[in-house]
Amino acid sequence: MTTNGASTRRLRLHRYRRGDLEPHIEEHDVPADEDTTVLAALRWIQLHRDPTLGLRHSCFHASCGTCGVRVNGRERLACVTKLSEHQGTVTVDPMANMPVLHDVVVDMQPFFARFPDQHPIVRASELLPNADTVDGIDEHERFEDCIECGLCLSACPVAATDATYLGPAALAYAQRLLEEPRGPDREALLDWADQDNAAWRCHAAFECTEACPSDVRPAQRIMALRRELRRRTQQGREVPEPANEEARS
Amino acid sequence: MTRGSPPHVLIVGGGGTGGALAHDLALRGVRVTLVERGEFTSGTTGRHHGLLHSGARYAVNDAESAVECIEENTLLRRIAPGSFEENDGLFVGVTDDDMAYLPGFLEGCEATGIPTQVLQPSEALRLEPMLTPDLKIAVRVPDATMDAMRMPMRFFATAKANGADLLNWVDVADLELAGGTVSGARVRDLVTGRTTRIGADLVVNATGPWSEQVASMAGVDVPIRPSPGVMLAVRGRLTNMVINRLHASGDGDIVVPQRALSVVGTSSWVVEDPDDLGVPADHVQRMIDEGSILVPAIRGAAFRAAWSAARPLIGSRDDADSGRELSRTFKTIDHAVDDGVEGFVTITGGKGTTLRGMAEVCADVVCRKLGIDAPCSTRETVLLPHAAAYAA
């Protein structure tokens, strides 16, 4: 944390440890300047006030997706959210729609359990404007935009009322696989997306796209997935199974 | 140890080194428990800029590190397919001094087995239009971008599938030392608040820049200097390849593109407490100033994040002040040999690229001490996807 122009900001934290009857609220004053991030402030509390504060983080630059929390009720990555974006006391809560492990940390297991089986992390890259492909590399690859932070699932109003809903990250992921097939079983993926708790369950609130810190646009991808499913249904009608024709005649 | 049951190793530290060691030992049939006080990779591993080193950075001054890097670079692509943006790297010369560095650089790469391709400015600019038009030469090497968290997580995922007990949110309160032997640790589970004991036939300290702190719990000293560096991420993938400055190591001399970001690194200084690093504003400015010598668009690019990570550099406090002169290679310390303390091994130093190799050397020492003769098989074992680390 830089110290120029330092003043003090108040954080209001959700504290919970397994075995507690219910969570409680705890407030801390933290030295901060205009660049201090929510993650830096939480780390300061951990270092100077309470080493038992549960905090999930890894990369500090919005690439790993581990530090998702709710800041004043909105889904944010703590590492790229500045305290100075908010007025007054800043409230930090764990993400919603996933079980709280402790303090502001949720258990990500149910999040990852929603994904379709095949789960690669690299995609063919868009080429940079004016750049040629490097000799010896047929196609650039780069990591998926999705950093699996869970913020979209936390923000999703459907997931809040239906724990079985597969949710935006997993559905957007399936659409990514269809858009750029790398050998997945297309029909199996579409069957997966056609389940009751999948693409059709979305209410199109677009909260996931609003929450996404990595420009995945999950809601738009769910809509694209629905178009794929409709296309498949229509194609099914246009090309009837020969067996059915025989049955009718 | 019960007769017939495998020996139990407790690994302290859930960074890349600890994860790779858990994987290696699990494959050799050792019973493994790993404890990490936060999320896995949260200390240093996950914070690094994500360069899969070709070794070229070390080819002139640190041939040992260069050879380690190119070997592991080749091997990791094989065992962790899909965890790298296989984008290669350029070493870009912009000044006469840089040009003077070129012959020794090419010789060093040749001597350490790092393939190079010299590109004239027009060719380099054709491949990377955002490079400085002032470049005099570029040398292509097999650098790559890795996902600094997800690549190491594949070692955790595979170790877990092979039976290792990997416990995050568990902090070591103290090591148990009796009669000159470490026999386990007293640990505090941060999720439940409970303190318990984990007994072990051997404890490995794999805590990187924290390894001096953990070693002191066993009354021994580890010559480690926590040496942080500042990194800056800007929005926009300004290059496809990793862009390095063609010179002896310095501040702000690398741009690692990743996803839709460009990461500029790094600086180097030395601290006492690896938990309390700070992000000095003048270092961030230096990343902008030096990085834009290589890729001018960095100066106008939108800020995304600035942060620090502590390297675990080997060297005593009497050594160089900046950390730059310390070796980037790693060291396994058997404290029975060095300090007369049995049942305690430290693995430290090194870098993300060499995590598997570090684990192999350390696991060899651990297995020798425990009388296990199973060979290392991590060179041939393709790792599970990172998401398997979160499986129930």
Query: 């930090």: which residue's tokens?
Result: A92
User: What is the Cα–Cα distance from A30 to A12, expressed in whole angstroms?
Assistant: 11
Q: Which domains does chain A have, with CATH numbers?
A: 7-107 (3.10.20.30), 110-238 (1.10.1060.10)
| A124 interfaces chain B, CB cutoff of 8 Å | no
Tens digits of residue pLDDT in B132-160:
999 999 999 999 999 999 999 999 999 99
Listed residue (B221, B169, B224) closest to A106, CA to CA: B169
Minimal CA separation from B4 to chain A, in Å? 34
What CA–CA distance (Å, rounded) separates A39 from A15?
A: 16
Write the single-letter amino acid at B145. Answer: T
Phi–psi pair at B383, nearest 5 degrees: -80, 150
CB atoms within 10 A of CB B381: 15
**What is the rounded average pLDDT of the residues B185-204?**
97
Q: Which of B340, B230, B351, B203 is nearest to B290 (CA)?
A: B230
* Cα–Cα distance measured from residue A151 to residue B179, given in angstroms and rounded to the nearest whole number: 51
Query: Please, which pLDDT band fits residue B244 given cuts at 50, 70 and 90?
Result: very high
Q: In angstroms, how far apart are the furthest CA atoms of chain B?
A: 69
Q: Pick from B383, B38, B153, B135: which is nearest to A46 by CA?
A: B38
Higher pLDDT, B118 or A187: B118
How far, in Å, CA of B210 to CA of B228, rounded?
A: 12
Read off the DSSP letter of residue B9: E
User: Which pLDDT does position A241 carry in this prediction?
Assistant: 52
What are the Cα distances from residue B42, in Å, to A56, A57, A70, B155, B208? 8, 6, 20, 15, 12
The distance from CA A76 to its chain's CA centroid, rounded to whole angstroms, is: 10
> Which residues are paired to B8 by β-bridges?
B31
Mean pLDDT score of chain B: 94
CB contact under 8 A, B391 and A58: no
Residues on chain B touching A80 (C-beta within 8 angstroms): 304-305
CA dihedral A124, A128, A131, A137 (to 10 degrees): -20
Beta-ladder partners of B12: B35, B205
Task: Tell me the pLDDT tens digit for each residue of B280-315.
Answer: 999 999 999 999 999 999 999 999 999 999 999 887
**Backbone φ/ψ region at A212: left (φ over 0), alpha (ψ -120 to 50), beta:** beta
Span(s) in chain B for CATH 3.30.9.10? 88-144+225-314
Per-residue pLDDT at A14: 98
Start and end residues for every CATH 3.50.50.60 domain found in chain B: 8-44+150-223+326-390
Q: Which of A1, A122, A129 sits opposite B82 (nearest CB)?
A: A122
Indicate the angle between helix axes A167-179 and A186-193, nearest 10 degrees.
150
3-state secondary structure of A187: helix
Say if residue B229 is exposed, middle or buried (CB neighbours under 10 Å; 0-12, 13-18, 19+).
buried
Interchain CB distance below 8 Å, A132 and B83: no
pLDDT band at A245 (very low <50, low <70, confident <90, very high): very low
Q: Are B49 and B266 in contact (CB under 8 A)?
A: yes
- What ipTM is given for this predicted complex? 0.94
Give the CA count within 13 Å in the CB-facing half-sphere of B316: 2
In the prediction, which pLDDT does A3 show?
46
Predicted pLDDT at B223 = 87
| Contact of A71 with A37, CB cutoff 8 Å | no
Q: What is the mean pLDDT of residues A242-249?
A: 43
How far apart are the two ends of chain B, measured CA to CA in Å?
Answer: 29
pLDDT reading at A206 higher than 90 = yes
Task: Nearest chain B residue to A215 by CA: give it.
Answer: B260
Q: What letter represents residue B8's amino acid?
A: H
CATH 3.30.9.10 fits B88-144+225-314, yes or no: yes
Look at strands B8-12 and B202-205 and give their pairing: parallel
DSSP string, B161-225: HTT-EEEESEEEEEEEEETTEEEEEEEEETTT--EEEEE-SEEEE--GGGHHHHHHTTT----EE
Residue A109: in which H helix or E strand, if any? helix A109-113
Q: Which residues are within 8 A (CB) of B107 and not within 5 positions of it... i.e. 6 or more apart?
A: none
- Closest residue in A to B241 (Cα–Cα): A134
The residue of chain A with its CA nearest to that of B50 is A59
Which residue from B202, B174, B190, B245 is spatially nearest to B30, judged by alpha carbons? B202
Residues in chain A: 249
Is the pLDDT confidence value at B2 over 50? Answer: no
- CA of A82: which chain B residue's CA is closest? B305
Residues of B in contact with A214 (CB under 8 A): 259
Question: How open is the CA angle B376-B187-A92, to the nearest 5 degrees?
Answer: 105
pLDDT of residue A129: 67
**A residues 132-161 closer than 8 Å to B (CB):** 132, 134, 137, 140-145, 147-148
What is A7-22 written as a DSSP string?
EEEEEEEEE--TT-SS
Residue B275 identity:
D
Query: Tens digits of per-residue pLDDT, A56-102?
Result: 999 999 999 999 999 999 999 999 999 999 999 999 999 999 999 99
Give the CATH number of domain B8-44+150-223+326-390; options: 3.50.50.60, 3.40.50.620, 3.50.40.10, 3.90.580.10: 3.50.50.60
**Residues of chain B positioned with their CB less than 8 A from the CB of A119:** 385, 387
Assign B367 to helix, strand or coil: helix
**Alpha carbon distance B390, B392 (integer Å):** 6
Which residues have CB under 8 Å from B52's CB, separation 6+?
A: B73, B76, B84, B143, B144, B145, B146, B352, B353
Q: Which of B190, B237, B272, B279 to mutate to test the interface with A (most CBs of A within 10 A)?
A: B190
B302 Cβ under 8 Å from any chain A Cβ: no
CB contact under 8 A, B259 and A112: no
**DSSP annotation string for B276-336:** -----HHHHHHHHHHHHHH-GGGTTSPEEEEEEEEEEEE--TTS-SSSTTS--SEEEEEHH
Question: Can you say whether the dihedral through the CA atoms of B32, B38, B42, B44 is positive or negative?
Answer: negative
Q: How far A111 CA sits from the closest chain B CA (Å)?
A: 9
| Beta carbons of B98 and B91 less than 8 angstroms apart | no
Q: How long, in residues, is chain B?
A: 392
Q: How far is B344 from chain A (nearest CA, A)?
A: 26
Across B356-362, average pLDDT: 96
Q: What is the pLDDT of residues A136-176, one digit of tens each?
A: 776 777 888 999 999 999 999 999 999 999 999 999 999 98
Which of A40, A108, A129 lies closest to B390 in CB terms? A108
What would the mean pLDDT of A214-239 be, rounded to a whole number? 91
Interior angle at CA B42, CA B155 and CA B84, nearest 5: 45
pLDDT for residue B1: 45
Residue B245 phi, psi (nearest 5): -80, 135
Note the Cα B333 to chain centre separation in Å.
18
